[in-house]
Homo-oligomer: A and B are copies of this chain.
């Protein structure tokens, strides 16, 4: 059940079989949710963290007028709210983008296992930092990249992150976000997303249709985005 999570961790550090077993035993429950459901509401105390097993989820913040900013997209293998282990409540909502399957990890169990295996605690601390690094790259996109580059960036990042967990390759990946949601990730309106997606298609860079992203020219995509994957910290090393 944890294969994808372990793949994600292993992309950055060695993971002992022991950890995988200990983690598996922590799971208190698995749940299924439909699309567009809030799974972890903001400002509510949490007693467990949620690992995404299948499907797509996101975290977002919004303004009074309802305009929404997605701050992170989650793929299978990600903890969607590991930070609730440390922060207790979240400063944002976590919702599903597609139907999903998740596993719940009680914080008390996480506390025990991270005390028993300090190396695992370091791995999760590292993951918190990785999360922040992705936020920073998004800040750069939102603040300084133009529309084409923002969308190219999003596609580049997701291609790499999905590839790690076996859900994508150089040709592309399943990508169920609507154009409204892509706009909520990139700080654009759906109308402008639509026009920009068309530009990328007409330039032979990438093609988006109904739940699928085809990467036609990965080098061009990376160039368009000025994508430098070092912020994803993919070299495996001791942490």
Contact = CB atoms under 8 A, between A and B. Distances in A.
Determine how many copies of this chain the complex contains: 2
A187 interface: yes
A209 to B, nearest CB: 25
Nearest to A67: B144
A138 B61 CA distance: 11
A76 to B, nearest CB: 21
B144 A91 contact: no
A71 B129 contact: no
A136 interface: yes
Interface in A118-151: 118, 121-122, 125-126, 128-133, 135-140, 142-145
Contacts of A122: 86
A187 B132 contact: no
A64 interface: yes
19 contacts: A59-B136, A62-B144, A63-B226, A64-B226, A69-B139, A83-B132, A86-B125, A87-B130, A88-B237, A91-B137, A92-B136, A121-B121, A128-B129, A131-B132, A132-B132, A135-B136, A142-B142, A142-B143, A143-B186
